[in-house]
Amino acid sequence: MLVVDDNKVIRQLIRVNLELEGFEVVTAADGAECLDVVHRVRPDVVTLDVVMPRLDGISTAQRLREDPRTRHLPVAIISACGGEATSGADAFLAKPFEPAELVRVVRQLLLHREPRQRRQAGGPDAGEEPSAGDGSAGRPAAGRV
């Protein structure tokens, strides 16, 4: 997964909390870097802050939706800005948040992505229970990010 936030501390806190739950995480400092990294890394989910230099999170989400290679990539906005600013995003998480909320949102996005990928590939669909595939043990995380 790809975590995008211009605040290095927040970016690292999100990364560490997701890694503790078994996710592989790559980070980017703004939307412009995200658009470069996303094609090299091919993440399963992208989290975006809204207010960032060079390219903000809303514009980044819109560009991801316009690109056929990333059109179906699940995107979560994680921001102190209101939830109404989620244009192009699949989920919104308000800062500050509990790490367990972050993990729940990411897992939910992964669950919704897998049946869509199977249908596009011609495989079995909604009858199966998808797995997040993150190897997590469901440990609750403490504290707010």
For the chain, the structural domain boundaries read 2-121
Element (H, E) at 34: helix 31-41
Cα separation of 103 and 58, whole Å? Answer: 21
Distance of CA 54 to the CA centre of its chain: 20
Question: What's the pLDDT at 14?
Answer: 97
Which residues partner with 77 through β-bridges?
A: 48, 92
Q: Are strands 2-4 and 75-79 parallel, antiparallel or unpaired?
A: unpaired
- The label of the residue with tokens 């790809």 reads 2
Helical H segments across 42-134, by residue range? 57-66, 99-121
Mean pLDDT to the nearest integer, 37-41? 97
The number of beta carbons lying within 10 Å of the beta carbon of residue 62 is: 16
Amino acid present at 62:
Q
User: Which of 60, 46, 47, 45 is closest to 10 using CA atoms?
Assistant: 47
Pick 2-121's CATH classification: 3.30.420.40, 3.30.70.2190, 3.40.50.2300, 3.40.50.200.
3.40.50.2300
Residue with more model confidence, 5 or 84 = 5
Mean pLDDT to the nearest integer, 14-38? 97
Q: Phi then psi for 77, rounded to 5 degrees?
A: -90, 125
Are residues 101 and 90 in contact, defined by beta-carbon separation less than 8 angstroms? no
Tens-place pLDDT, residues 82-110? 665 566 799 999 999 999 999 999 999 99
